[in-house]
Every structure is written in C-alpha cells, then in structure tokens.
Amino acid sequence: MPRPKRNVLAAAQESFEPPVELTEGQHIARVVKINGNNLYLAELPSKKQLLVELPSRFRSTVWIRRGGYVLVDTNAFADRENKLDGEIAAVIRNDKEWRKMNYWPQEFAKKSSYLEESDEDESTVGKLPPSDDEDDA
C-alpha cells in the first residue's frame, strides 16, 4: 500500500522553503556521485567530500541528481561509528530562493552561461568563414 498523498506532499514541501539560518553542523553541499542504496557523495564548498544518506521520509518522493544541492546535517551521525558523514536534511529544489540567503556559499554562485565578450576573442558565431579574396587584399 503506498504512502498517503499528504505525507508525500509534506516531504516535498519541507525542502521548498529555505530556513532563516543554518544550525550548527548544517552545510550546503553539491551532489557529486550517486552511490546507490540511498547513499550520495556530496562536496562541501571547501572541496571536502562527504558520504551522506537520504532519510526514509524522502525516499521514493524526492529525487536527487548529480550537480543538485542538498542541505547536509553532519551532527546526525556524529555519535555513530560508521562510514557515513551525515544525513540529508533537505533537498534544495528551488535554488533561486536559497541563493538569496546570506549563508549560501560563494563557491556555489551561479555562473553565467554566456562568455564575457572581449576585443581580442571575438566570437565567430553566425559569421561566414573568411573568403580567399580577403587574403589577397
């Protein structure tokens, strides 16, 4: 029997709104690799990699892809001796709202997809190749 729809929607809505501030041990991380069995390799802004687990309330309701952002709680597994470094507290789906918060890391700033134009590196997009006549002149 599937979960009630209200539980699925509550889990999805839980991570839609960013918190006002992060607590001790919470970090924003980028998902680098999906290891399977609800385990993910996440990278902090300091380039440190953590093995984190997706809690059961998010399983089969929220999907995470490589390059996506998650809120990791490292205090969740501090008392246990295992290979896990933390637990995913929230899956960041609406990163536009999260980027406005003052705790968003500068290392994860959104980069423009357009190249900066400069005089020496003129783009040739939409231009014809030079003809042989121009070389003679």
Residues 8-35: tens digit of each pLDDT: 677 667 667 888 999 999 999 999 999 9
Residues 77-108: tens digit of each pLDDT: 777 788 899 999 999 988 889 999 999 999 98
- Distance from C-alpha of 84 to C-alpha of 78, rounded to nearest angstrom: 9
Q: Residues for the chain: how many in total?
A: 137
3-state secondary structure of 120: coil
Residue 100 is encoded by which pair of tokens?
């406005």
- Distance from C-alpha of 45 to C-alpha of 55, rounded to nearest angstrom: 22
- Distance from C-alpha of 105 to C-alpha of 53, rounded to nearest angstrom: 22
3-state secondary structure of 10: helix
pTM of the model: 0.73
Q: Which fold has domain 5-108?
A: OB fold (Dihydrolipoamide Acetyltransferase, E2P) (2.40.50)
3-state secondary structure of 70: strand
What type of residue is 64? I
- Distance from C-alpha of 31 to C-alpha of 50, rounded to nearest angstrom: 9
**Does residue 120 surpass a pLDDT of 80?**
no
